């Protein structure tokens, strides 16, 4: 797709200086990057380098791709990892509450909240929260992972948290809907089961049933949905990081796309695929450990 795009990596790399660079110099830069070779040759050369541990050179950042990933992975992990974990906890809690109060006002409020979130684009929610809480109310910083003009090593932990809280809230809200709705549906199925009918006959309250029967049974689809949404959270972070100027891999993805930086895009795609596939394998293993029926069926 990048090779079919109109973006010229050399022109994007040169920026305003391209007006002072002649065709011969541009051709030399393209040759040094291997861009003068046929596309299949470029791909197989890239694949061979990756197998040997060399992810290539980023023209957008003028440094090795591995260094770009190392410099920005921690910032992305702080934002995306925390948002993923918090959305799982909050979504599961809201799903349990909605399922336990099915048909009543708490359930209706939570469903409207989840449907609204599921239909809301991440970038729009990010811009809205930025306009309200940063521009109008002044409660949160307007951008970046630290105060503007302060070196990264001089940013305090409190300042980092202050800049993290708004993009973290956006990404957390973005990931809540699916987990809450999956948990709600499963808990309603649990309440309609025969063993819950027996528990009610023995005097168990609604919250006793949720605690002893609902949490484990509803936890399996919630866990599956949580790991399935990992890719969506990462995709949402691309837009959220761009809106909040957060210096993570999401923003690096946008920069690489705008500047035709194929090696960096490919590396981020590989890293994302590795994270999502690993997460799905972990979810399968945890599901087998939680549900003894699945353990027995896999033997």
| Average pLDDT of the chain to the nearest whole number | 83
User: What is the tens place of the pLDDT at every residue in 214-233?
Assistant: 787 887 788 878 887 787 78
The phi and psi torsions of 44 (rounded to 5 degrees) equal -70, -30
pLDDT class for 297, splitting at 50, 70, 90? low
Q: Per-residue pLDDT tens for 53-82? A: 888 888 888 889 999 998 888 888 888 888
pLDDT value at residue 293: 62
pLDDT confidence of residue 207: 81
pLDDT of residue 94: 92
pLDDT at 256 > cutoff 70: yes
* pLDDT, mean of residues 31-58: 85
pLDDT confidence band for 43 (50 / 70 / 90): confident
In this predicted structure, the answer to whether residue 299 has a pLDDT above a threshold of 60 is no
Distance, CA of 84 to CA of 229 (rounded, Å): 8
What secondary structure, in 3-state letters, does the chain show? Answer: CCCCCCCCHHHHHHHHHHHHCCHHHHHHHHHHCCCCCCHHHHHHHHHHHHHCCCCCEECCCCEEHHHHHHHHHHHHHHHHHHHHHHHHHHHHHHHHHHHHCCCCHHHHHHHHHHHHHHCCCHHHHHHHHHHHHHHHCCCCCCCCCCCCCCCHHHCCHHHHHHHHHHHHHHHHHHHHHHHHHHHHHHHHHHHCCHHHHHHHHCCCCHHHHHHHHHHHHHHHHHHHHHHHCHHHHHHHHHHHHHHHCCCCHHHHHHHHHHCCCHHHHHHHHHHHHHHHHHHHHHHHHHHHHHCHHHHHHCC
The count of other CB atoms within 10 Å of the CB of residue 269 is 11
For residues 111 and 182, the answer to whether their CB atoms sit within 8 Å is no
Percent of the chain's residues with pLDDT above 90? 6
pTM of the model: 0.79
Residues of the chain with CATH 1.10.3720.10: 63-297
Residue 298 has pLDDT above 60, yes or no: no
Q: How far is CA 54 from CA 68, 114, 184, 205, in A?
A: 13, 43, 46, 60
Options 1.10.260.40, 3.90.228.20, 1.10.3720.10, 1.20.1250.20; CATH for 63-297 is 1.10.3720.10
Instruction: Please give the pLDDT value at position 292.
Output: 63
Q: What is the pLDDT of residue 295?
A: 57
Judged against a pLDDT cut of 70, whether residue 137 lies above it is answered with: yes
71 HSE (CA, 13 A, CB side): 15
Q: Which residues contact 54 (CB under 8 A, 6 or more apart)?
A: 66
Over the stretch 181-195, which tens digit does the pLDDT of each residue have?
888 888 888 888 888
Tens of pLDDT along 11-34? 777 777 776 777 788 888 888 777
Q: What is the mean pLDDT of residues 245-262?
A: 86
């Amino acid at each position: 797709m990048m090779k079919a795009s109109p973006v010229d990596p050399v022109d994007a790399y040169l920026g305003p200086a391209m007006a002072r660079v002649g065709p011969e110099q541009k051709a030399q830069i393209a040759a040094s990057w291997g861009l003068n070779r046929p596309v299949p040759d470029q791909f197989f050369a890239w694949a061979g380098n990756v197998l040997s541990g060399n992810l290539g050179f980023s023209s957008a950042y003028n440094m090795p791709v591995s260094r770009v990933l190392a410099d920005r992975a921690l910032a992305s992990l702080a934002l995306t990892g925390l948002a993923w974990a918090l959305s799982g906890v909050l979504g599961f809690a809201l799903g349990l509450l909605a399922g336990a109060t099915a048909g009543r006002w708490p359930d209706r409020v939570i469903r409207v909240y989840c449907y609204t979130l599921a239909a809301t684009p991440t970038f729009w929610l990010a811009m809205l929260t930025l306009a309200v809480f940063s521009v109008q109310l002044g409660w949160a910083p307007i951008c970046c992972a630290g105060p503007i003009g302060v070196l990264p090593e001089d940013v305090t932990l409190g300042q980092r948290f202050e800049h993290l809280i708004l993009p973290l809230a956006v990404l957390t809200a973005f990931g809540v809907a699916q987990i809450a709705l999956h948990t709600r549906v499963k808990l309603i199925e649990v309440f309609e089961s025969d063993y819950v009918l027996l528990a009610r006959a023995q005097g168990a309250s609604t919250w006793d049933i949720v605690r002893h029967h609902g949490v484990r049974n509803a936890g399996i689809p919630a866990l599956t949905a949580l790991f399935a949404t990992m890719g969506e959270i990462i995709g949402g972070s691309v837009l959220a990081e761009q809106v909040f100027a957060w210096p993570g891999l999401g923003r690096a993805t946008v920069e690489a796309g705008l500047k035709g930086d194929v090696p960096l895009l490919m590396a981020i795609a590989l890293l994302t695929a590795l994270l999502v596939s690993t997460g799905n394998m972990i979810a399968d293993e945890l599901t087998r450990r939680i549900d003894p029926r699945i353990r027995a069926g896999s033997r």
